Amino acid sequence: MSTKNGQQRDGQVERGTFAVKAGLAQMLKGGVIMDVVTADQARIAEEAGACAVMALERVPADIRKDGGVARMSDPRLIKEIMTAVTIPVMAKVRIGHFVEAQILEALGVDYIDESEVLTPADESHHINKHSFTIPFVCGCRNLGEALRRIAEGAAMIRTKGEAGTGDVVEAVRHARNVNGAIRRISRMDADELFTYAKDIQAPYELVKETAEQNRLPVVNFAAGGVATPADAALMMQLGVDGVFVGSGIFKSDDPAKRAHAIVQAVTHFNDPHILAEVSENLGAPMVGINVTELSEAEKLAERGW
């Protein structure tokens, strides 16, 4: 069976089309995707109402602390997590590491995150995501980066934020960058759009489509630094479609309770009374690192091109 362009045909059935790749992301909207490192954590996340889990060996806070090269997880761990839950399972590969992606596709994970949280494997090329049946999510800091990833075949986008810090400031900056740019281009005329596409190094057709629709062509989640129900609701009110929570849950005092509260906060992001109720008595959040105390070299969001 041919896998060219991610399309497989048997009879009238088409698999791996962009519609089914982007479609799964649409089903995840209004939900919380949680980082988990064991099958037990995956079960806690499912019971708390996570719409998907991200299977990895170390949460970003530990990757930061331990240093060294961060790679794709052990397939055994990913398989255990896939068996433990019925919700979609995502897993991370290094930027540009298309063989790690081939391995995850062989395992049958539901989504691949080509992630700056792991150590990049290629300093100039991202994975050609069109050649896979499995959909990809990629990080971005601004509209140009988002549209470059979509051009490469990403079917879902997330803001990078600054993973493993528990500091939401970078996620806010990146969400405002993307959504502010979309608001500006939706008012531009055709002449201005050509120049703008060149300036942000993004394909003109995607810039035009984004301007016309007044939104990204794919679903956009927030990630990198979300630690509380209020953080999650803040990102939703800034216009993202859902939220990834990494270290914020399993590095806190009471993961099950905090996970549950963040799920409620994403559904009821516009209801301050409910937000007040779910924020109560959650125990200590992850300790966190102030992003302004990180050197440029320590910032994961700078990875990716």
Q: Among 244, 85, 264, which Cα is nearest to 168's?
A: 244
- Rounded to the nearest 10 degrees, the angle between the axes of helix 169-185 and helix 204-213 is 90
Q: Does residue 30 bind another protein (CB under 8 A)?
A: yes
Q: Does residue 299 bind another protein (CB under 8 A)?
A: no
Two tokens, residue 165? 């810090």
176 annotated as a binding-site residue: yes
Beta strands in 71-229 (DSSP E): 89-94, 111-115, 136-140, 156-159, 219-221
247 annotated as a binding-site residue: yes
Q: Does residue 272 bind another protein (CB under 8 A)?
A: no
- For tokens 């990629």, the residue is 138
Instruction: Kindly indicate which of the ranges 28-36, 62-70, 136-144, 282-290 contains the residues binding another protein, using the contact rule CB under 8 A.
Output: 28-36
Distance CA 184, CA 159 (A): 19
- Which residues partner with 114 through β-bridges? 93, 138
Q: Does residue 243 bind another protein (CB under 8 A)?
A: no
Range 153-212, binding another protein (CB under 8 A): none
CB 284 within 8 A of CB 254: no
Two tokens, residue 259? 């996970």
Q: Does residue 15 bind another protein (CB under 8 A)?
A: yes
Q: Does residue 46 bind another protein (CB under 8 A)?
A: yes
The residue among 70 and 263 lying less far from another protein, judged by its C-beta, is 263
- Which residues partner with 53 through β-bridges? 34, 89
Q: Which residue among 21, 92, 160, 251 is the active-site one?
A: 92
Q: Which of 1, 13, 69, 190 binds another protein (CB under 8 A)?
A: 13
| Residue 221 neighbours by CB under 8 Å, 6+ apart | 28, 33, 137, 156, 157, 158, 159, 240, 241, 242, 243, 244
246 annotated as a binding-site residue: yes
Q: Does residue 16 bind another protein (CB under 8 A)?
A: yes
The residue among 11 and 68 lying less far from another protein, judged by its C-beta, is 11
Structure letter (DSSP) for residue 226: -
- Residue 54 half-sphere exposure, CB side, CA atoms within 13 Å? 27
Instruction: Kindly indicate which of the ranges 11-19, 119-127, 162-170, 283-291 contains the residues binding another protein, using the contact rule CB under 8 A.
Output: 11-19
Q: Which of 102, 131, 267, 279 binds another protein (CB under 8 A)?
A: 267
191 annotated as a binding-site residue: no
- For tokens 């362009």, the residue is 5
- For tokens 């060219």, the residue is 4
Instruction: Kindly indicate which of the ranges 60-68, 108-116, 182-190, 222-230 contains the residues binding another protein, using the contact rule CB under 8 A.
Output: 108-116
Q: Which of 54, 78, 93, 134 binds another protein (CB under 8 A)?
A: 134
* Nearest distance, CB of residue 151 and another protein, angstroms: 22
Distance CA 195, CA 201 (A): 10
164 annotated as a binding-site residue: yes
- 92 labelled catalytic: yes
225 annotated as a binding-site residue: yes
- Numbered residues of the known binding site: 35, 164, 176, 225, 246-247
Name the site residues for another protein (rule: CB under 8 A).
11-17, 19-20, 23-24, 26-31, 43, 46-52, 85-88, 105, 108-111, 133-135, 260, 263-264, 266-268, 271, 274
Catalytic residues: 92
